[in-house]
Amino acid sequence: MQVSFLLASLLSGLGMAFLRPLLSLFLVDDVGVPPIYMGSFIMIMMLSGIVISQFIGHFSDSHFSKKALIYFANICLVAGAAIFAFSRNYWLVLFASVVFISIGTVGFPQLLALSRHFADDVLKKGAARFISMMRAQVSLAWIAGPPVAFLLAERLGFTYTFLVSALSAVLVVLVMRFYIPNFQAPVRNSGGINITGWYRNPNILMFVVSNFFLIAANDMYLIALPLYITRELNLGSNWAGYMMGTAAGLEIPVMLLYTPYVERYGNKNVLYFAIACGILFYVGMLVAVSVWQLILLQALNGIFIGIVIALAFVMIQDLMPARIGLATTLITNSFKAGSLLAGGVVGVFGQFSTYRYVFFVSIAACLVGTIALSWVKSEGDARAGVLAKA
């Protein structure tokens, strides 16, 4: 059954890996809108995704079957990707992103929540490692996904690329239907504590804020990269895919090997190291001018994003053990909110300045994320705090 969960995670990653990296290039080149419209598009899509997934995540721990939610989300992703494939009308594509793609993004956090229940119920131990393995499947999908997606888009057009995204979502539904049962959250005694007030707990709140800025830094880079590569470095768009794939490939060993360092140095210190790698990466992007330099820099990027994302899910689930679904949705929505900010920043710089300056903003976002992280207590104190104040 572990293999089925990992396969579903891999397919979920492929679904987005054939859609999201192309989005900025698709809107500017194929739909034909200016960069400011592209940025607005991404902001609206992410905002709608936050509202929808937060609503679903709030009720997913008690009112809905997570398996049914994963079905529904992937069916919506199929519809949205199909519209992306066959329409070049800005407003229709925007409608598809707000209604269908936004709902489709609910599927992966619910899959992670379901896998955590599986790990607690069946595996009994090693939940953190299994969640990291689940997330590593997404990185595996992004090794091949973006390079193939950009090549496919260059040679056959965006239509076929987005249809691959739709096919991946269909396969997720089939794997869920035939190989993965529904696991319910164990009943936990919270002692009458109201655990819905997560925003009143400073540890959870500041951890979410920290992840918001760290992911915003990464997404500014991801959104700007295809346009920066083609417009300012005069390289083929396929190089953006190779860079994304290289970083994703490096994320996998990082996610699988970071655990001993967490046990020795603690979550926060490992995160500080990852952020330092991220800052060095964006500084490098400011000065790199050749392909080999850009590829080598991906080692720093892989360490940064691999550790940040892997620890984000584990730490938030540990902070909110009685609300795994809500916790996973919270951290996923902090990522979407970061993407919302990133879309606006890239759109403004692309319209009025240069994509290169986006990397300065990424550095600033990493620094703000570090400050927010410094306010989070150590793991033991934070976990005790959530029971007292949530």
Q: What is the pTM of this model?
A: 0.76
Confidence of residue 84 (pLDDT cuts 50, 70, 90): very high
Distance CA 264, CA 270 (A): 9
* pLDDT value at residue 40: 93
Count of other CB atoms within 10 angstroms of residue 354: 12
**Nearest Cα to Cα of residue 300 among 233, 359, 374, 371:** 359
Distance CA 280, CA 261 (A): 21
Q: Which residue has the tokens 């991946």?
A: 168
Evaluate if residue 334 carries a pLDDT over 80.
yes
pLDDT confidence tier of residue 252, bands split at 50, 70 and 90: confident
* Tokens 């500084």, residue located: 283
Burial class (CB in 10 A: 0-12, 13-18, 19+), 187: exposed
Mean pLDDT, the chain, whole residue set: 84
User: How many Å apart are CA 215 and CA 237, to the nearest integer?
Assistant: 23
| Tokens describing residue 86 | 């066959």
Pick the CATH number of 2-183+198-389 from 1.10.10.10, 1.20.1290.10, 3.20.20.70, 1.20.1250.20: 1.20.1250.20
Question: Taking a C-beta distance cutoff of 8 angstroms, is the pair 47, 340 a contact?
Answer: yes
pLDDT reported for residue 193: 32
Residue 389 has pLDDT above 60, yes or no: no
Token output for 296: 């080598």
Q: Which alpha helices (H) appear in the chain, and where do they start and end?
A: 2-17, 23-25, 35-60, 66-86, 90-96, 102-104, 107-118, 127-156, 158-179, 202-227, 238-257, 259-265, 267-287, 291-319, 324-352, 358-374, 379-389
CA-to-CA dists, residue 145 to 28, 231, 330, 383, angstroms:
21, 22, 26, 37
Amino acid at 36: I
Structure-token pair, residue 275: 């952020």
Q: Which two tokens stand for residue 93?
A: 């594509």
Q: Tell me the per-residue pLDDT of 129-182, one tens digit each, with 9 for 90 and over.
A: 787 788 778 878 888 889 999 999 989 999 999 999 999 999 999 999 998 887
Instruction: Kindly state the DSSP code that residue 184 receives in the 8-state scheme.
Output: P
Give the length of the chain: 390
**pLDDT band with cut points at 50, 70 and 90 for residue 22:** very high
262: left (phi over 0), alpha (psi -120 to 50) or beta: alpha
Kindly state the tokens that stand for 67: 């398996």
Give the residue with greater pLDDT, 32 vs 59: 32
Comparing 366 with 355, the larger pLDDT belongs to 366
CA distance 20 to 353: 24
| pLDDT > 70? residue 382 | no
Query: At residue 325, does pLDDT exceed 80?
Result: no
313 with 328: CB under 8 angstroms?
Answer: yes
